[in-house]
A = this chain, B = another copy of it.
Amino acid sequence: MFFASDNSGPAHPAIMQAMVDANEGYLMGYGQDDLTHAVQARIRQIFEAPRAAVHLVSTGTAANALLLATLSHPWETIFCTPESHISEDECNAVEAMSGGASLSHVRSVGAKMTAETLADALETRGGGVHSPQRGPVSLTSVTELGTVYSPAEIAGITEVAGAYGLRTHLDGARFANALSVLGCTPAEMTWKAGIDAVSFGGTKNGCLAAEACIQFDPEDSWQLELRRKRAGHLFSKHRTLSAQMQGYLADDLWLELAGHANRACARLVDGIRAAGLGDSFVAEPQANMIFVRWPRRLHAALKAAGATYYITEGSLEGADPDALLTGRFVCDWSMTDTAVDTFISHLTQAVASGAA
C-alpha cells in the first residue's frame, strides 16, 4: 500500500535491461554517440516535430529550470499557478538558473490556470521599466492536483500568451499520464496547441532518472546546451540517460506504463467512491494522483493499517479527530491491484467503523 509518490518505485525491468545492454565498449562522451542521436530522433518522431531540439537531463527540476531559463530573461516574470512545482517544490531553481527571473502566480482552479485568469495576471504586470517584464507561461499537466489540461484549454492559454508575444512551457513530469487520459497525440497536447517547450518526464513513469528537454523551435538549442553544461547537467557517460529513454520509448512502453498507473488510480478512486467518500476529492480525479479531504481519525486508521502516503495539509498529530486533513495518493507503473484492493478494504472497514 505504497502511494507516497511515483518517484519511489523501481525502474521498469526493460529500462534497466536497456541500461545493461548499452553498457558495452567505448562511446564518445557528452551525447556525441549514436544511441543518444537515436533517442533524439525517436522523440522528434513521437512528437511529429522533425526540427525539435532534444536534450536529456536527469531530473525534472533541471528540465524545467533549464528550459524556462532559456525561454526567459532575468528581468522577466514567469507566469504559473500557485500550486506549480516550479513555485512550490524546486527551492528557487528557476530563479537560480534564470539569473533572477521571478514567478507570478495566475489564479487557478484545480491547479489549472485558464485563458481568462492568465489574461488577468498579464494585465497586472506592466509595460514600463519598473515592473518585472512579462515572460513565459508555464503549465503543468498532469497538474500538481492531479488534473489534466485538454488540448483546447492549452490552446486557449497559449493564444493569450501569444498575443503578448510570450512563449510557453509545459512541465510534463507526468506527460505520459496526461496523454493517456486525453487519448490525443503528443503533438496535439503540445506544439499543435501552441506549446514551445516541454519537460518530457521519464523518472516518474518507470525510468531511474531521465527527462528530455524539448524545444520545438531549435533556435535556442545551443543556449540550452551551454546552460545544461554550466549547471553541471551534461552527463559525460551519456548512455546513462539515453539508454533509459531508449528503453522507455521502445514498443510504447511509456504509454503502457502510464496507462497502467492511471488505471490503478481509477481503481482506487472507484473504491473510495464505493466507500461513500466520493465527495472528498479535492479535484476531479483524472490521472494517477488524487487528493482527498478526510478526517484525522480516518487517516490515522489507514496509516495504522500500513498505508504509506503523504498528508499534504494538516498533520496527523492534533487533538480533533474530526479535523479534515488532505491526503495525497499516487499510483506508479508498478502499483498492483492487490495493493489497491487491500487499501480499499481497510478504508471500507474504517468507514464502516465510523472513522469518516
Contact = CB atoms under 8 A, between A and B. Distances in A.
A23 interface: yes
Given A28-B8, A58-B209, A93 B235 contact: no
Nearest to A209: B240
A91 B230 contact: yes
Pairs of residues from A and B, 8 with the lowest C-beta to C-beta distance, nearest first: A62-B232, A99-B99, A7-B236, A61-B232, A95-B100, A91-B230, A96-B100, A2-B26
Contacts of A57: 232
Contacts of A113: none
A65 interface: yes
B102 A7 contact: no
20 contacts: A2-B26, A8-B26, A8-B28, A10-B24, A19-B19, A30-B130, A58-B58, A58-B240, A62-B232, A74-B96, A75-B227, A75-B230, A92-B100, A95-B102, A96-B231, A100-B230, A129-B225, A203-B236, A204-B236, A209-B236
B96 A133 contact: no
Contacts of A4: 26, 28-29
Interface of A: 2, 4-5, 7-11, 13, 16, 19-20, 23-30, 57-66, 73-77, 88-93, 95-103, 105, 129-133, 203-204, 208-209, 223, 225-227, 229-237, 239-240, 308
Number of copies: 4
A227 to B, nearest CB: 7
A203 B13 CA distance: 23
Residue from A24, A98, A237 having most chain B Cβ neighbours under 10 A: A237
A230 B58 contact: no
B226 A209 contact: no
Contacts of A236: 5, 7-8, 59-60, 203-204, 209
Residue from A92, A95, A232, A234 having most chain B Cβ neighbours under 10 A: A232
A237 B203 CA distance: 8
Contacts of A92: 74-77, 100-102, 132, 230
Contact of A59 (B133, B225, B234): B234
